[in-house]
Structure 1
């Protein structure tokens, strides 16, 4: 007998991760091939479905990826295969659609990546089973209540402001609960911006010839700086020596002052693939051993291994550059002896120094502009050489290889509490700065803007900003040293989970309603990273410690209990597949079908 009762599924947050969950769900539903009526409710703050806020298609083309084209693929090679007529990776799609800069090592505009993701979404929509209906809701979800076996999803429509609610049997949350607390400026001051995106809208009020302070010197700060210069018709032109020169349009601020705790910019990249060099110390075997002996100390156990990998990568390239072979040995003193003999033969070569790599100006309380200029020039030159020629780049690229293995140790309380806190508050940012920086072209632009006089590094380190109540402006000052008045203040930092904090209204309400509980690492000491607790399938743990298989989290909401949820990755912390399979099992169970849905996933 045909079952006509509708099974409703909700996906809260529909950027790339929401789309990935949706794609897996449709693939599993097609494989199951039942005739149950199914509705998939998509909740998203904006109409940029699948691209989301980060890759929205209306942003300017000068906002580019820090992720080379060859690394982008909206599809996963996994059974059941995607229900789509074609599944092009990004490079193939760029080539087919005749986009410029389609080479694998190029960095595309984020808006183009968004267009690709939206096309991937449409390819799935075009092949929907006839019993599946997709219902988008453009608005903000603020609360979820459990009513019997169902969940009442409360949301506010973006266009009308009207409050509505939808009943769902199963929910997937991919929206960040601590990254973007709001898409609106949360401060009351007209001359400050807490969230710079979309840049053309948020930064439009900034007057030409004004003084602007930008908190942060990472990818978001670079976006803000480019929006206030190139985004105002300024032009970057290559000179005969290959350097950029910036031509003013007259619409730029007079000065832009970036400032951060370390004052250090991110290490740029040239787009070339990672070297094929293997890890020697941070290995699969080691990870398997450590996972059996939890908790793991970051400083005592993991950090020394990371330092050894940096050391080996550095000297592997340095030796090669001088026609020598660098040999691995299980006895690290044998490796150190090779290095000692090498430096005796080549005393002019720089010695590996961990501190100089992670923070060359640690002992400098204040950075001069000229010091930072020299450092930028050094980073640009090393990035152009790449990790096959630059010992420095070979070393800092190591973290990209270590990261997936480290995630296995970090996730679900694998580190002791003190170690997790130390990693979250210091080393996560450090390794991001070293290994996930912007394209070298963007750092060349920063140097050109500095030389033009617009970008000013006078307050880049050890500065604080405070409100000036007399004139509604701000004061940017280095402690017991120089200061300047500021007309506009931009916060260009992207916050992560913070100890004991749940800023987002939705996640506060999930806690209040008992649908989730806070994750606490109680190994040796205690640390609350400010994230929800989930099991290893991504399912929520409710206030009473019970697993709710009908609520799953994926992507940003799992930060703090997992690590490094790359926005575009289809494989890292992939809760989408297990969620989709679980939904199909729930549909079968609810329909009264007793056989279990047991198909194993085969990753090719």
Structure 2
């Protein structure tokens, strides 16, 4: 009797497919002799392992926004219940992979240090190489066959024996289980109300509208973005930066050292006449700081002091409102969670600036108000709409520290809040010496700190003389009372007052970018501003997710979170590498890149000129553009998606949309699918379909922060999700089933053979 065949379809051949095949190949010895496994992997771009978004064919001007040592391809010891691990040399980080390939090829793009930011195509090369390795391992098993299909899956339909996977080229393949890892998809502009009018106007007027940027070379050809064309770029995040560099450096322009130590742009003549970048905020995403935590992530990554999972749970119990499904109480993000985010950022800002003893002092001073807040106490009645309302005791304690340090630098023998005199001063719970030396190290650098340590022993006059002779290389305030945490400045770094012309606004943006790049160069452990953003919005992202995910917020608050705070997260903590932002700054200085429409820019189809028009209400700027390129990331929404796959899943009753419902009947549908905790879709009647597993962006709304490459030594959620899928895969494969479900469909196999490329 022939062994029973179990058929697995993996829809999407990008990074998550690479991780899935890695785990499957590592455990394939579990496949019994009475079983055969047939694996079919579908990738519409044909870029197996990387997918289109990470393709090695991407322009060399696009960079990852994560350093090379923080990207990996396989499970490691940190991943709970991962199962068998491959030997360490067979699971390199991206940095280790690049070092091997550099030794073989001498390619300068592969000559990376652990803290370097790799070009995105390099990540694609590594993904495809690792994917190929894992597939070869699977194929080496006598009971396994692997077929790679260069085609798009357009439908998955149920039938009596399981599921049928249908492809755009007419193929139909039986499957017992399907893993959907399609990654980020894009909208069909004709299916979305917000873009339908833009697409219609472009068709009628003869101008160009580009609703999706990738692949850049095909989406933005010279025909519509070449010399003489004005290109408007809607958005100022990572996609916009990719577009800008592709249309400048990618067209032969070069960046050379400028007289001020920065970069200067030299055009090639093949660029557009002008690039106009605009957005609601009017500023680009902030530069990612140099990642100094990579030396020892377990010790150096921030652990919450106020913003913790326990705090979220206590708030849910004390002030949460009833939800429609009877689960734990729902929170309001701005009322309940944001004050903890702001408090944590402020505390980490000052802990970075003044050192660990001062940090403990500040934590204790803020403790009473914080504890009262967690049980719905007085702070709720005190400015309930103010996200800074928990900062009073903390800022008062900071005043004590800065008063003491200012007193030392101003020549007072005794700090106003301390005991002891002069440089021997020690206040209640913190050391003036430690705080002063840490402040000097942060503001002026390690060498001045070493000199200050000697001057401290010589007396106050020597210390004052030393400090008065230094300037901050990081553009930080040079007095202890400066460098205060400011939530409003964090969220809106430019004061619009007086920035009422494009020229004034441009100069203000350049000044901010100069300062932001200095802060990024100082790194995420020593710059207080970058430490606060990185430590809270990146290191504590899982705590924010705990508050938000699975209906953790009221429907109304959930709408606000997705519209406002996901964007804030991206701007504060998910920006581009400093060397990338140096290039953007150089383009603004050159004048080729125009950001003069400022905040609140408004886009209009201009019937009179047959072009798009962008108006800046804050700066009185108005600019006509020939080509409009949308650089905004669209949330997952099957009814607006360019692919029919998920619409068909809904139509077949294999899935339903997730809904956030309050007990009062308020409903919010963000667009994602309703999945079980093990990522199986729920049918309209609420029952799960264990044959289907869906990972990544299709769960948007129900889950948050889903787009991420695998990180090593971090028990990373991307690999934990993959392990969850594989556990259920083996369970279903090993569960006895009727013989009919194992029938081999020879006709379907033959029908689909034409789309199998390997």
**TM-score (norm: length of structure 2):** 0.73
Distance 1:526 1:577 in 2: 33
Distance 1:177 1:370 in 2: 36
Post-superposition shift, 1:464? 2.2
Q: Report what 2:226 is aligned to.
A: 207
List per-residue Cα deviations over 1:11-41 (Å, max 9, x = no partner). Answer: 1111111222222233333224444121111
Pairing of 1:526-565 with structure 2 (within 5 A): 526-565=667-706
Distance 1:66 1:488 in 2: 27
Asked whether the 8 Å contact 2:554–2:662 carries over to 1, the reply is: yes
Distance 1:304 1:240 in 2: 44
Q: Report what 2:368 is aligned to.
A: 331
Question: Does the residue aligned with 1:475 lie in a helix, a strand or coil?
Answer: strand
Q: Report what 2:310 is aligned to.
A: 285
List per-residue Cα deviations over 1:400-441 (Å, max 9, x = no partner). Answer: 111012223322222222222211111011111100110011
Pairing of 1:504-543 with structure 2 (within 5 A): 504-524=643-663, 525-543=666-684
Q: Report what 1:111 is aligned to.
A: 121
Post-superposition shift, 1:478? 2.7
Cα distance change on mapping 1:498 and 1:462 into 2, 3 Å: farther
Distance 2:92 2:710 in 1: 15
Q: Report what 2:448 is aligned to.
A: none
Distance 1:6 1:27 in 2: 20
User: More deviation in 258-267 or 561-570?
Assistant: 561-570
Asked whether the 8 Å contact 1:26–1:83 carries over to 2, the reply is: no
Alignment partner of 2:273 out of 240, 249, 254 = 254
List per-residue Cα deviations over 1:101-120 (Å, max 9, x = no partner). Answer: 42111000111111111111
2:328 is the counterpart of 1:316: no
Question: Does the residue aligned with 2:547 lie in a helix, a strand or coil?
Answer: helix
Post-superposition shift, 1:82? 4.9
The root-mean-square deviation of aligned C-alpha atoms, in Å, is: 2.8
**TM-score (norm: length of structure 1):** 0.90
Alignment partner of 1:233 out of 248, 252, 257 = 252
Distance 1:403 1:180 in 2: 27
Alignment partner of 2:167 out of 146, 150, 155 = 155
Q: Report what 1:380 is aligned to.
A: 517
User: More deviation in 411-420 or 565-574?
Assistant: 565-574
Between the two proteins, the alignment pairs up a number of residues equal to 586
Distance 1:514 1:362 in 2: 51
Distance 2:45 2:642 in 1: 20
Give the unaligned 5+ runs of structure 1: 157-161, 594-604
Asked whether the 8 Å contact 1:465–1:476 carries over to 2, the reply is: yes
Q: Report what 1:597 is aligned to.
A: none
Pairing of 1:17-166 with structure 2 (within 5 A): 17-77=16-76, 78=79, 79-82=82-85, 86-98=90-102, 100-128=110-138, 129-156=141-168, 162-166=169-173
2:623 is the counterpart of 1:484: yes
Question: Does the residue aligned with 1:97 lie in a helix, a strand or coil?
Answer: helix
Alignment partner of 2:180 out of 168, 173, 176 = 173
Post-superposition shift, 1:49? 0.8
Cα distance change on mapping 1:180 and 1:71 into 2, 3 Å: farther
Q: Report what 1:598 is aligned to.
A: none
Q: Report what 2:12 is aligned to.
A: 13
Cα distance change on mapping 1:297 and 1:324 into 2, 3 Å: closer
Alignment partner of 1:467 out of 605, 608, 611 = 605
List per-residue Cα deviations over 1:343-364 (Å, max 9, x = no partner). Answer: 4435751332111101134766
Question: Does the residue aligned with 2:306 lie in a helix, a strand or coil?
Answer: coil
Cα distance change on mapping 1:277 and 1:36 into 2, 3 Å: closer
Question: Does the residue aligned with 1:267 lie in a helix, a strand or coil?
Answer: coil
Asked whether the 8 Å contact 1:294–1:414 carries over to 2, the reply is: yes
Question: Does the residue aligned with 2:165 lie in a helix, a strand or coil?
Answer: strand
Distance 2:579 2:9 in 1: 41
Distance 1:301 1:471 in 2: 49
Q: Report what 2:554 is aligned to.
A: 416
Cα distance change on mapping 1:543 and 1:591 into 2, 3 Å: closer
Asked whether the 8 Å contact 2:207–2:626 carries over to 1, the reply is: no
Distance 1:590 1:284 in 2: 41
Question: Does the residue aligned with 1:119 lie in a helix, a strand or coil?
Answer: helix
Cα distance change on mapping 1:146 and 1:211 into 2, 3 Å: same
Alignment partner of 2:211 out of 181, 194, 204 = 194
Distance 2:276 2:311 in 1: 45
Question: Does the residue aligned with 1:552 lie in a helix, a strand or coil?
Answer: strand
Q: Report what 1:449 is aligned to.
A: 587
Distance 1:503 1:526 in 2: 26
Alignment partner of 1:584 out of 730, 736, 744 = 730
Post-superposition shift, 1:3? 4.7
Q: Report what 1:430 is aligned to.
A: 568
Distance 1:227 1:112 in 2: 16
The structure that has the greater radius of gyration is: 2
Cα distance change on mapping 1:208 and 1:25 into 2, 3 Å: same
Asked whether the 8 Å contact 2:289–2:519 carries over to 1, the reply is: no
Q: Which is helix-richer, 1 or 2?
A: 2
Question: Does the residue aligned with 1:474 lie in a helix, a strand or coil?
Answer: strand
Asked whether the 8 Å contact 2:638–2:647 carries over to 1, the reply is: no
Post-superposition shift, 1:177? 6.8
Question: Does the residue aligned with 1:458 lie in a helix, a strand or coil?
Answer: coil
Give the unaligned 5+ runs of structure 2: 190-194, 294-299, 318-327, 370-391, 407-478, 740-758
List per-residue Cα deviations over 1:206-262 (Å, max 9, x = no partner). Answer: 121321110000011011110111001111112354200111111111211100011
Question: Does the residue aligned with 1:483 lie in a helix, a strand or coil?
Answer: strand
Cα distance change on mapping 1:499 and 1:16 into 2, 3 Å: closer
Post-superposition shift, 1:549? 0.5
Distance 1:35 1:231 in 2: 55
Asked whether the 8 Å contact 1:54–1:110 carries over to 2, the reply is: no
Distance 1:499 1:584 in 2: 29
